Amino acid sequence: MFFVHYLRQFGVSAFVGTLTVLLPLCDARTEARDPIPIVVTIPILKDLTEQVGGPYVRVTSLLSGYENEHTYSPKPSDLIAVRKARLLFEIGLGLEVWVSSLVRNAGSQTLRVVTISRGVELIQDDTDAHADTHAEGIGIHRDGNPHIWLDPANAWIMLRHITDALIEIDPSHEAEFRANQAAYHERLAQLQKELSARTQILADRRFIAHHSAWPYLAKRFDLHIVGTIHVQASTEPSALHLQSLIGRIRKEQIKVIASEIQLSQRLPELLSRETKARVVILTTMPGGLPGTETYLDMLRYNVLQLADALEAP
């Protein structure tokens, strides 16, 4: 009765006008309630995707920041997340050797997998032994070192891939995605400039790396890796290799060993006891250590911790 009374009092045209005003609001609310479901392999991709996508994305990272990306074993909840996702962002380059079987088992017909290392200038490992052990055997990074995100210039390339994929899925918000991309790029460039200024004043830039995660960061900030403890991921180095590192640290008076929270500290501490070199614990993943929740936080933390250790007497 109210509906009939409304039409008689205000007329059909007024009712249609009211609907015209209300329907876009309903659409906007529906959009806000239904962001794009996205799965990413590692936390850096979650952060970058959220920086661009804002409220229009809902991102699940399979790794939280504490795991070893080489040897991660997907959980049943990961399978469910992948099955529901529209996009899956991965680094590629043999880093996430477990992803292909996860995607296959999820069986989604609508999922699009985006490899965001495309277009990055890769650094080749010093040895062909840089490999990751997993359930299906040993995979070697033949295409180049996969830890590309530790160079902020590469993070910008990754951000562009993410932006393009989001626009393809949700073109109605292209303007917002582009604006978010530009704003983040400005912050990233400013941080890179600040950190470069910090490392340029170092008299000694040499360090021992825990495993082959740091060549991109070292190259970007003019630091020098003179040895690596784990040249093959998830495989113990030989006693001969450790003795060689100890001898080199002593002979060349190398002061710093850059370890990683995601790996066991046993061997870095052993080398430190034998040589008096200082161990500084870094993280390859946002969230791995307090104060590293975002990519920018992690980059700042790693470079400043390493620079402070290199500068210490």
Q: What pLDDT sits at residue 129?
A: 34
Tell me the per-residue pLDDT of 120-169, one tens digit each, with 9 for 90 and over: 999 987 643 333 333 233 334 557 999 999 999 999 999 999 999 999 99
H helices of the chain, in order, are 2-10, 12-33, 43-53, 76-84, 99-106, 152-169, 174-200, 215-220, 239-252, 266-275, 295-311
Q: What pLDDT sits at residue 231?
A: 83
Tell me the per-residue pLDDT of 257-284, one tens digit each, with 9 for 90 and over: 999 998 999 999 999 999 999 999 999 9
**199-311, which class in CATH?**
alpha beta
Q: What pLDDT sits at residue 299?
A: 98
Q: Across residues 44-61, what is the average pLDDT?
A: 97
Q: Cα–Cα distance between 74 and 103 in angstroms, integer?
A: 11
Q: For residues 286 and 21, which has the higher predicted lDDT (pLDDT)?
A: 286
Q: What pLDDT sits at residue 5?
A: 47
DSSP conformational letter for 147: -
Nearest to 41 by CA among 123, 141, 115: 115
Task: Tell me the DSSP string of 79-112.
Answer: HHHHHH-SEEEE--TTS-TTHHHHHHHH--SS-E
Please, are residues 66 and 288 in contact by the beta-carbon 8 Å criterion? yes
CATH 3.40.50.1980 residue ranges of the chain are 32-192, 199-311
Q: For residues 123 and 18, which has the higher predicted lDDT (pLDDT)?
A: 123
Q: What pLDDT sits at residue 273?
A: 97
Q: Cα–Cα distance between 138 and 143 in angstroms, integer?
A: 15
Looking up tokens 């920041």, which residue turns up? 65
Residue 283: which residues within 8 A CB-CB, separation 6 or more? 65, 260, 261, 262, 289, 292, 298, 301, 302
CA distances (Å), origin 245, targets 70, 226, 297: 24, 9, 31
Tell me the per-residue pLDDT of 179-188, one tens digit each, with 9 for 90 and over: 999 999 999 9
- Assess if CATH 3.40.50.1980 describes domain 32-192: yes
